[in-house]
Structure 1
Amino acid sequence: MPLGLALATTAVVAQTGAPPAAHVPVPVEGISARIVARYPHDRAAFTQGLVWHDGSLFESTGQPGVSDVRRVRLNDGKVLARTKLPGLQFGEGLAVDGKQLVSITWQDGIAHRWDARTLKSVGRARYPGEGWGLANDGTSLILSDGTPTLRFMDPKTFKEKRRVTITANGRPVHNLNELEMIDGKLWGNIWHRDYIVRIDPATGEVDGLVNLAPLRAELGPLDPEAVLNGIAWDAAGKRLFVTGKWWPTLFEIALEPVPQG
């Protein structure tokens, strides 16, 4: 059920009706984040998906009537190109598949394909249920939908191949949102929580957690829906980027184990 909020003159639709975001129970490995750099980010962007591809940052944004897929210049946050989603579709997660991008929609059940160079539409597919986050593990597109279930979809047909349940110490974890694969592990935001989690994609087990509350606090007062969301991994440069919905800043961070003792 949509919830109308106000940010300036923009009508905001929030993802509601899902179970409360589960606190990930301990013990899982604690990981700290060190800020490496800060970059400007379009604070009008309701960030839903973020990827690094072929030397560029790509982003998908949400909200009916303004959702788009865009190519963004890292250094100054300038939007170099964008393509708007049709009608009132609410854009969600984004992933790379070869020379194309795949973006999903929240409740329309549509997966869009885009030429990564031109951002022109090159096809679409249908899927049941909601779409939240999307990532590519090299053989499947991994889809989150707000439930503890991850669906592994065929990249070409978007038909489901298998699924796993997201758990932490045996307890289901709800509201996994934006996703990113990093060195064989799946990382994801938990909606309305200031942390990202690391997941074994074979089992769905959460085995690590990064507290990013200091990043959110640095930005000062924001709209309640301006939550952490957006993870992009530059595999060649070994750089990790995170941001949030309507955040004015995109952070490059380095992850380090939390000292024990």
Structure 2
Amino acid sequence: MRRRSLNTRPQVRSFILLALLFSSSFFAISQVTDNYHIVQAYPHDQHAFTQGLVYVDGHLFESTGIKGQSTLREVDLETGRIERMQLVSDQYFAEGLTDWKNTLIQLTWQAHIAFVYDRATYRLLRTFHYQGEGWGLTHDARSLILSDGTATLRFFNPETFKEVRRITVTDRGKPVTQLNELEYIHGEIYANIWHANRIARISPTTGRVVGWIDLKGLMPRDQLSSDEAVLNGIAYDAAHNRLFVTGKLWPKIFEIALVPEKAKLVPVRHAK
């Protein structure tokens, strides 16, 4: 009996090892998915094709798109009233928006040009050019961060507007495309996914998606006027730790609080 038990131990170890390998090859720990609850809802211009949203120094700024309708505007959060508005030339389809120091920087979709405005007066200070399309724009402490609808995020020097680096955004090794409006929050890049009711939380160092925010059900479909009335707009009030989200042609802006969900084992799909 003793000799037999000694002989079977390697077999037991092998069985356990194979079981672990089997489980790890078919399952992986998913990123944490945050749900939400609504803290407050505010009125929003339902005709605004929202492309960029920024909250800075107590003021809400918005970039809206569509050629012939594109604007840069300041909006009163509580009432939804447009307090100040700058029309963008009809030849441009305005896109993402961010602040930098005392300026606002607004992208255009396919014209490869961005406008730099004085934040206090909306006076156009200068322009800069970039390759590819412009979708979303945000910044960290040193760089502007631009999305163009692909899985690539590009980082630019905000003074010279020269590209300094880029990352590829991936979720469990697969590229994540359709990255749209951006916001930099607590050391992560939050990104809307076009035509999806979720926001990716992205590491600015590796490009890896570290979590998702599931906003399904935030805006009922029967309150939307178009199939293009999709989630698009993230703003963060750093002074009061408030997170705002809205969408194109949405009648409301929502202040939300995130509700973390525990990570789960999820199946890993293998190529055939």
TM-score bin, normalised by smaller chain? 0.7 to 0.9
Answering whether residue 146 of structure 2 is matched by residue 140 of structure 1, we say no
For 2:84 and 2:226, the matched residues in 1 are separated by 27
For 2:258 and 2:228, the matched residues in 1 are separated by 26
Cα shift readout 1:50-101 (whole Å, capped 9, x = no counterpart):
0001110000000001101110000001000011112320000001100101
Structure with greater Cα Rg: 2
CA contact (8 A) 2:68 2:91 kept: yes
Q: Which residue of 1 aligns with 2:90?
A: 87
Select the residue among 250, 255, 265 that pairs with 1:247: 250
For 1:212 and 1:230, the matched residues in 2 are separated by 12
Q: Secondary structure at the match of 2:220?
A: helix
Q: Which residue of 2 aligns with 1:39?
A: 42
Provide runs of 4+ in structure 1 moved above 4 Å.
none
Q: Which residue of 1 aligns with 2:56?
A: 53
Kindly state the Cα deviation for residue 49 of structure 1 after the two structures are TM-superposed.
Answer: 0.2
Q: Which residue of 1 aligns with 2:69?
A: 66
For 1:186 and 1:217, the matched residues in 2 are separated by 26
Cα shift readout 1:84-124 (whole Å, capped 9, x = no counterpart):
11232000000110010101000001111011111121111
For 1:243 and 1:221, the matched residues in 2 are separated by 12
Kindly state the Cα deviation for residue 256 of structure 1 after the two structures are TM-superposed.
Answer: 2.0
Query: Percent identity over the alignment?
Result: 50
For 2:263 and 2:99, the matched residues in 1 are separated by 37
Q: Which residue of 1 aligns with 2:131?
A: 128
TM-score normalized by structure 1?
0.88
Number of residue pairs aligned between Structure 1 and Structure 2: 237
For 1:212 and 1:80, the matched residues in 2 are separated by 29
Q: CA 1:84–1:188 in structure 2 vs 1: closer, same or farther (change >3 Å)?
A: same
For 1:66 and 1:177, the matched residues in 2 are separated by 20
For 1:164 and 1:216, the matched residues in 2 are separated by 32
Structure 1 unaligned spans of 5+? 1-24
Q: Secondary structure at the match of 2:126?
A: strand
Question: What letter matches 2:110 in structure 1?
Answer: Q
Q: CA 1:196–1:56 in structure 2 vs 1: closer, same or farther (change >3 Å)?
A: same
Q: What is the alpha-carbon root mean square deviation over aligned residues?
A: 1.5
Kindly state the Cα deviation for residue 32 of structure 1 after the two structures are TM-superposed.
Answer: 1.1
Q: Secondary structure at the match of 2:223?
A: coil
Q: Secondary structure at the match of 2:195?
A: coil
CA contact (8 A) 2:32 2:262 kept: no
Answering whether residue 223 of structure 2 is matched by residue 217 of structure 1, we say no
Cα shift readout 1:137-191 (whole Å, capped 9, x = no counterpart):
1100000001111100111222111000010010000000000000111001000
